[in-house]
Amino acid sequence: MLLATFALGRTISFLLARQGRRFIERAHLPGLGMIFRALAKPGSMLVFAGGLYVGGRILNLKVHPAHDLSSFWPKLCQTIAVLAVGWAVYRLVDALEYWLARWTARTRTQLDDQLVPILRKTLRVFTIILALLFIAQNIWHWNIGALLAGLGLGGLAFALAAQDALKNLFGSVTIFADRPFQMGERIKIGEFDGVVEEVGLRSTRIRTLDGHLVTVPNSTVADSPVENIGRRPYIRRVFDVTITYDTPPEKVIRAVEIIREMLDARKDHFPKDLPGRVYFRELEAYSLNIVVYYWFTPPDWWQYLAFTHDFNMELLRRFNEEGIEFAFPTQTLYLRQNPDSPQRDA
């Protein structure tokens, strides 16, 4: 009887696995094929549990009054059957992951892609716990509630120890719900500035500009201001062009005109609603200050540096051609001799 049940289970497992391969290779239905392959081995196990139950009923397992197996045998068969069903659900999570991955591939955010493996692990753990609780309470009639209540101070200590883990878990839920950033974006959280590499249930990993991998707890990410540098529409530059105090007003006006001409020649790199700005703003202690504003697009750091380099070189060249001198901190000292002090003979 056992051999026949085992052979039948192996046959069903083989047929389901072969049908799954056909769906994948010939019909080009990988999702449906994964379902058949996931059910193959658990199906064999379920048939084996059914065969054990039928065999026990036929044999009427009661070899001795002191060793009555008639009540134990059905429970054993039911346990194997529940384990088979749980195993099937456990393996079906892979098929669910396949369909979720296809769905998240059509979304713009990459956080969904990171959420799929986390959801897979969570569902698998939930399936295992649910199957074990069902077996313990409904088949073997163990009082799970009394067992959990009996943990007493141990359970309280565990709950206190798990506070940080729960905070990080809720922090990850907040991140996936609000989506303040995506994978691959550059963000700044507190003192950490870098690119997001991974978002997990406990922490977020950031590759800093120095190349270091920083692991930040999700509770910290959820409670801290997140500066998403990767989503900025432009890079703003504000700087002062300082010229000497002996520069005549005509040349000050000419300096402003030169900078304005340079900005107008590069207006394709600025947003239409944010053109470059230049003003003669301040009279400082050592210089006359001309302030310059521009908002560079696209917000690529290396393109911005190349643009800034060309802008500065042209500014230096044109100021030299016009005879406009740049200022730097200087001091002029005037020495006055006290007329009452004695004169030395030369």
pLDDT in tens, 205-233: 999 999 999 999 999 999 999 999 999 99
**Distance separating alpha carbons of residues 318 and 305, to the nearest angstrom:** 20
Last residue of a domain, one of 150, 170, 193: 150
Q: Are residues 226 and 239 in the same domain?
A: no
Rounded CA gap, 29 and 99, in Å? 11
Amino acid 64: pLDDT? 46
Residue 119, C-beta contacts closer than 8 angstroms, at least 6 positions apart: 97, 100
Q: Which pair of tokens denotes residue 64?
A: 């001795």
Q: Is 241 in the same domain as 215? A: no
What is d(CA 257, CA 263) in angstroms, rounded to the nearest whole number?
10
**pLDDT above 50 (res 179):** yes
Query: What's the mean pLDDT when you consider all of the chain?
Result: 82
Kindly indicate the confidence band of residue 16, based on its pLDDT and cuts at 50, 70 and 90.
low
pLDDT in tens, 85-138: 999 999 888 888 888 877 777 776 666 666 777 788 888 889 999 999 899 888
Same domain, 25 and 70: yes
Q: Please tell me whether residues 55 and 194 are part of one structural domain.
A: no
Nearest 5 degrees, angle CA 246-CA 247-CA 249? 125
CATH number at residue 310: 3.30.70.100
- For residue 293, what pLDDT band results from cuts at 50, 70 and 90? very high
Indicate whether 16 and 113 sit together in one domain: yes
Do 120 and 208 sit in the same domain of this protein?
A: no
Question: Nearest-CA neighbor of 98 among 76, 74, 118, 117?
Answer: 117
The larger pLDDT score, comparing residue 343 to residue 310, is at 310
Handedness of CA 130, 134, 135, 141 (dihedral sign): positive
In sequence order, the β-bridge partners of residue 292 are 239, 278
Q: Could you tell me if 101 and 187 lie in one domain?
A: no
With 60 as the cut, is the pLDDT of residue 1 above it?
A: no
Q: Is pLDDT above 70 for 162?
A: no
Helix (H) / strand (E) containing 219: helix 218-223
Residues 82 and 114 grouped into a single domain: yes
Q: What is the pLDDT of residue 46?
A: 81
Indicate whether 328 belongs to any domain. no
Per-residue pLDDT tens over the stretch 256-265: 999 999 999 9
Query: Structural domain of residue 303, as residue ranges?
Result: 235-322
Q: In 26-110, which residue ranges form alpha helices assigned H by DSSP?
A: 30-59, 72-104
CATH assignment at residue 205 = 2.30.30.60
Q: Same domain, yes or no, for 259 and 318?
A: yes
What per-residue confidence (pLDDT) applies to 220? 94
Angle ∠(243,245,248) on CA atoms, nearest 5:
90
Domain presence at residue 344: no
Whether pLDDT at 148 is above 50? yes
Residue 336 lies in a domain: no
